[in-house]
Amino acid sequence: MGEGRRPETVAVEDSPAPRSEITLKELSSWSQATLALIAVGFVLYAAREIMLPVVAAFVVGAMLGPAARRLDALHVPRALSALLLVAGLTLIIALVILLIFPHVSELTAGLPGMIGSLKEKLHVFDGLVAAWRRLAVMMGEPDKGAGALPFPGISWVSPTVSVVVPTLTGFLFFLVMLLLFISEWPNLRRGLVMTFASRDSRLTVLKILNEIESSLGNYLLIVAMINLTVGALTGVLCALTKMPNAIGFGALAATLNFIPIVGPMAMFVVLLVVGLVAEPTFVWGLVPAAGFLLLITVEGQFLTPTIIGRRLELNALAVLLSLAFWTWLWGPMGAFLSSPILMVALILKQRLYVDEDG
């Protein structure tokens, strides 16, 4: 009986050792991965002026990869294809600006009269403002006296210039990087594949690159169709409410909707301000912004997550977390890049994990 119990005792005593060793290895691996992610995040944040245009050029260039390959099939030189694609992208952005700029000029020319009209419409809040001032006096703040609501002066000019100039510089750098990336991508692709010695590794890298290009191309196509629909519906809404330059506002809505959350919020503010200024009554001035808010809520909460989640196999929670992180790290452009970067990360994880298992 005593001899029969020894193997069980040995098995019980020996089993914890491998578990402890495996746990320590896993803990060490996770710690190293966490430290590496923190270091990468710090580098991406500290060097965002350089990294953001480079990463954006890679993502947009991969999105335009299928179009470049179709031009290659038509025997168009790769350099000319890159020039045509970058010129087309720049032309679309310029067209949106041209559609909006005339109305901005009209608003600027009639700004004094519009401010007076807006002040009259805001008199509906006089009772609320007076109650707020009485509450402030009761809490010990000095009474600044009655008067109209304050309006901003020209103090915004200097901060605006300090923001616009680096933005334009970064955009030009992005266009140059995008042009170089598209024109040199076949050579870069070949170099990445040939870096690895074994045939299996080369095949894995080739599959990863092909899947990245295909997924990002499909993402651009789906998002572009959704945003064009949003822009068209916004233009119809503006036309029905007799807003000026309905086509321009539709184009602006379609363009800004490429930037998740930040873009629709900016468009809502634009429609709210212009509606209050241009419409005859305060309540009617709220209608365009309210209609756009309803439209963008349906699109952002139901339509886009459903389509992108089913067609591109992205988890809604992962999309939201990626959006929050990249928006915090790189601002509006990071919001635009959040879903494509998530797709690239998931492709790398899936392909490398499957190959390691194989």
More reliable by pLDDT, 71 or 280: 71
What is the amino acid identity at position 51?
M
CA angle 109, 152, 332 (to 5 degrees): 90
Most confident of 28-37, 131-140, 266-275: 266-275
Tokens 């060793």 belong to residue: 21
Say what the pLDDT of residue 146 is.
47
Reading the block at residue 273, the tokens are 């301000």
Say what the pLDDT of residue 316 is.
66
Count of other CB atoms within 10 angstroms of residue 141:
10
- Taking only the tens place, the pLDDT of each residue in 214-224 is 888 888 888 88
Q: Mean pLDDT over all residues of the chain? A: 76
Say what the pLDDT of residue 142 is.
54
Confidence of residue 130 (pLDDT cuts 50, 70, 90): low
The span from the CA of 122 to the CA of 107, in Å, is 19
More reliable by pLDDT, 284 or 220: 220
More reliable by pLDDT, 11 or 303: 303
Secondary structure of residue 169 in the 3-state scheme? helix
Secondary structure of residue 313 in the 3-state scheme? coil
Mean pLDDT within 227-255: 87
The span from the CA of 343 to the CA of 339, in Å, is 6
CA end-to-end distance (rounded Å), the chain? 46
Is residue 161 pLDDT above 70, yes or no?
no
Is residue 85 pLDDT above 50, yes or no?
yes
Mean pLDDT within 8-34: 59
Closest CA to 219 of 331, 66, 348: 66
Contacts of 327 (CB under 8 A, 6+ apart): 260, 261, 262, 334, 335, 338
Q: Taking a C-beta distance cutoff of 8 angstroms, is the pair 253, 246 a contact?
A: no
Say what the pLDDT of residue 158 is.
55
Confidence of residue 17 (pLDDT cuts 50, 70, 90): very low
The DSSP H or E segment spanning 101 is: helix 78-109
Say what the pLDDT of residue 144 is.
52
Q: Taking a C-beta distance cutoff of 8 angstroms, is the pair 65, 185 a contact?
A: yes
Is residue 298 pLDDT above 60, yes or no?
yes
DSSP annotation of 149? P
Closest CA to 223 of 59, 58, 54, 55: 59
- Taking only the tens place, the pLDDT of each residue in 196-213 is 888 888 888 888 888 888
Say what the pLDDT of residue 12 is.
47
Is residue 84 pLDDT above 90, yes or no?
yes
Say what the pLDDT of residue 297 is.
86
Confidence of residue 20 (pLDDT cuts 50, 70, 90): very low
Q: Taking a C-beta distance cutoff of 8 angstroms, is the pair 329, 48 a contact?
A: yes
Q: Taking a C-beta distance cutoff of 8 angstroms, is the pair 279, 127 a contact?
A: no
Is residue 122 pLDDT above 60, yes or no?
no
DSSP annotation of 46? H
The span from the CA of 328 to the CA of 315, in Å, is 20
- Taking only the tens place, the pLDDT of each residue in 28-65 is 777 777 888 788 878 888 888 888 888 889 999 988 88
Q: How many helices (H) and strands (E) would you count in the chain?
A: 14, 0
Mean pLDDT within 164-175: 80
